[in-house]
Structure 1
Amino acid sequence: MELQQMRYVVAVAEERNFTRAAERCRVVQSALSHQIKALERELGVELFARTSRRVELTAAGEAFLPHARASLESAERAHADAAAAEGEVRGSLTIGLIPTVTAVDAPAALAAFHRAHPAVKIGLRGGGSNEFISEILAGHMDVAVLGLPEHVAPEGVASRELVREKFVAVVAESHPLAGRRGLSLRDIADEAFVDFPVSTPGRAQSDLAFAAAGVQREVAFEVMDLGIVLELVRHGLVIALLSPALVAGVPGLATVDLVDGPGRVEYLAWSAFNPSPAALAFLAYLNTASPQRRSGGVVAP
């Protein structure tokens, strides 16, 4: 059994097509099919059910696949660790970024890190903080920037506090509230809002603040894309509660301070269990590039 055969099995399982799997692995389809057939003969089972139009994993294939993935990940980690012992950082680095990052200049950080460690394959993922924590715990993500309500710390992962922020009301420049010196949540409770989906950490800090103030609001639009959020506000359809850093200099928008507005904390999070050489190198770079106050006594390597 060879690692290349396992790569082919994983590719076919994910693509559900031998032709696309061969293109992904940069081999001719006949060679890929031959290697999978050879592996099946060695194992004494069929891994795939095949027709001219359809490919599916058999029960044996379903059982084999997670172990194949784990073997490939272990082989990649062995290569990366061996290279790191000689001073070269290799391997892969998967990073999660919430859509409202303000504490880290991600493009600049990634550009500098790539120049320093060109052999590291970098993957970026967007999403929410809860999703990222689960991915880190499952070993599918190395590092993430999280945004959580005040008094809520990441659980199960190592973390470092990056910044604490107080949200402001974001309105269109033509909105009647634009230019006000300060507002309370009760002052804006009758407005229509745009916010992140319910039950996400990006939404939680605002919902908690309104609950604490004893007032209700209407969230007319639930959106994960920050660009769409700002456009909806700019067109006067809704208002939003956001970090002022996200709207600084954006034309067509105005911000108003809130006396009882929500706050959030951005964290850098990573696995506390055996982080990869690439993850350690990236954390070390971020510590050097932008040292911040540590959270909960946990310090990045």
Structure 2
Amino acid sequence: MAGADDPTVQQLRSLLTLAEELHFGRAAARLYLTQPALSLQIRALERRLGVQLFARTSRRVEVTPVGRALLPLVRNVVGATDELRDAALSSSTGGDGLRLRLGLTDCATALASTRRVIAALTTLHLGLEIDFRVVDLVEQATGLTTGQIDAAFVYLPVPEDFHAQPLTTEARVVCLSSTDPLAQRSSVCLADLSDLPMVGLTPEVSRAGRDFWAVDPRPDGTPVRYTEHKVSRVESLLSAVSFDGARAFLPAVAAELYPRPDIRYLPVADLVPCTFAVAWPSAGRDAPQIALLEEVCRNLCDEGLPAGKP
């Protein structure tokens, strides 16, 4: 009977990979883990089995005699698990290949966490075909609702009928025109930003999303003023900031992704951070391709994903 102290398949897969590489750095890279995370996996497996699997020195890693004796059994367990998963996927798709349609904004394509998730999916699940679709702030939600995409990389919040798996958290910054009176400051607070309007997002973006990204209302209860723009892309938002003297909040990584001489990005001392996530319709959570995506995201999050660019 399975128990709470049984080894996990991920731990067993880590054992096999490290036994092949005999190097924590190379093995961690193959598993899309950090070296400390891989070390934790191996130590946890050794505790659960009650044996030492590897002999470690500052210069080399060796499989112990006990570890070598267990390797054939471990390969059988991992192989059987892979066969079970593949058989279940084949049955659920009628024998056809499994396809995952992923929506990404221009910003999301450059993020390290996005690339780690996709790399892990394509490496660990060779039978999964991924179809990438570039979407804007509106299309990422409507595409999920209409079934044109299965999941999307998004910044929270998302509508209530979506499920979201958080990936990373990062600060938000304010975008200012280089001619803005505050542009020469090193940082600001929300109270400094009440004199000029925020760039208006299209009404097709959810009200929760529009309120979050404008911080509306402000902590003191003051409602936010907006421009007449109906923006659905970051590039359009930045143009509105540059030419019309408005302001906007974006994830801190925007300063790396969209450097422009006419735009300044400043930290906001009292602005809560934002969360980057993968989202899909709650009703579709049991779909096999979504189950694979959720498993990969959860495992990577347990080990820690980097925010920002690679």
TM-score interval, normalised by the smaller of the two chains? 0.5 to 0.7
1:90–1:278 contact (8 Å) kept in structure 2: no
Equivalent-residue separation in structure 1 for 2:106 and 2:210 (angstroms)? 12
Amino acid at match of 2:266: V
2:103–2:149 contact (8 Å) kept in structure 1: yes
Determine which of 109, 124, 127 is the counterpart of 2:133. Answer: 124
Q: Pairwise mapping of residues 47-58 of structure 1 onto structure 2 (< 5 A)?
A: none
Deviation at 1:224, TM superposition (A): 0.9
Q: Pairwise mapping of residues 270-289 of structure 1 onto structure 2 (< 5 A)?
A: 270-271=280-281, 273=284, 275-289=286-300
Q: Which residue of 2 aligns with 1:21?
A: none
Q: Which residue of 2 aligns with 1:204?
A: 211
Q: Which residue of 2 aligns with 1:245?
A: 253
Q: Which residue of 2 aligns with 1:173?
A: 178
Relative to 1, partners in 2 of residues 1:236 and 1:194: Cα closer, same or farther, differing over 3 Å? same
Q: Which residue of 1 aligns with 2:271?
A: 261
Q: Pairwise mapping of residues 1-301 of structure 1 onto structure 2 (< 5 A)?
A: 81-82=89-90, 90-98=97-105, 101=108, 105-106=113-114, 109-110=117-118, 113-114=121-122, 117=126, 120-124=129-133, 126-128=135-137, 136=144, 141-149=149-157, 155-198=160-203, 200-201=205-206, 202-213=209-220, 214-235=222-243, 237-248=245-256, 250-252=259-261, 253-261=263-271, 263-271=273-281, 273=284, 275-289=286-300, 291=302
Query: Which 10-residue stretch deviates more, 139-148 or 112-121?
Result: 112-121
Amino acid at match of 2:248: A
Q: What does the per-residue CA deviation read over 1:118-153, in whole Å, with 9 as the maximum and x for residues that have no partner? A: 661514252447x7567657765422233235xxx7
**SS class of match (2:131):** strand
2:105–2:135 contact (8 Å) kept in structure 1: yes
Amino acid at match of 1:120: E
Equivalent-residue separation in structure 1 for 2:232 and 2:303 (angstroms)? 28
Equivalent-residue separation in structure 2 for 1:220 and 1:206 (angstroms)? 16
Equivalent-residue separation in structure 2 for 1:196 and 1:189 (angstroms)? 18
Q: What does the per-residue CA deviation read over 1:182-233, in whole Å, with 9 as the maximum and x for residues that have no partner? A: 3233322222432422462442214444443315323242211112222443
- RMSD over aligned CA atoms reads 4.2
2:197–2:224 contact (8 Å) kept in structure 1: no
Q: What does the per-residue CA deviation read over 1:101-132, in whole Å, with 9 as the maximum and x for residues that have no partner? A: 48655466546645663661514252447x75
Q: What TM-score results when the alignment is normalised by the length of structure 2?
A: 0.52
Deviation at 1:271, TM superposition (A): 4.9
Relative to 1, partners in 2 of residues 1:109 and 1:274: Cα closer, same or farther, differing over 3 Å? closer
1:137–1:156 contact (8 Å) kept in structure 2: no
Relative to 1, partners in 2 of residues 1:215 and 1:142: Cα closer, same or farther, differing over 3 Å? closer
Relative to 1, partners in 2 of residues 1:216 and 1:274: Cα closer, same or farther, differing over 3 Å? closer
Relative to 1, partners in 2 of residues 1:89 and 1:178: Cα closer, same or farther, differing over 3 Å? farther
Amino acid at match of 1:222: K
Equivalent-residue separation in structure 2 for 1:165 and 1:195 (angstroms)? 23
**SS class of match (1:256):** strand
Equivalent-residue separation in structure 2 for 1:209 and 1:109 (angstroms)? 32
Count matched residues.
211
Relative to 1, partners in 2 of residues 1:240 and 1:275: Cα closer, same or farther, differing over 3 Å? same
The percent of aligned pairs where both chains have the same amino acid is: 18
Relative to 1, partners in 2 of residues 1:209 and 1:164: Cα closer, same or farther, differing over 3 Å? farther
2:100–2:128 contact (8 Å) kept in structure 1: no
**SS class of match (1:222):** coil
Equivalent-residue separation in structure 1 for 2:270 and 2:88 (angstroms)? 49
**SS class of match (1:224):** coil
Question: What are the ranges of 5 or more consecutive residues in structure 2 without an aligned counterpart?
Answer: 1-86, 305-310
Equivalent-residue separation in structure 2 for 1:83 and 1:158 (angstroms)? 25
**SS class of match (1:270):** strand
Relative to 1, partners in 2 of residues 1:233 and 1:141: Cα closer, same or farther, differing over 3 Å? same
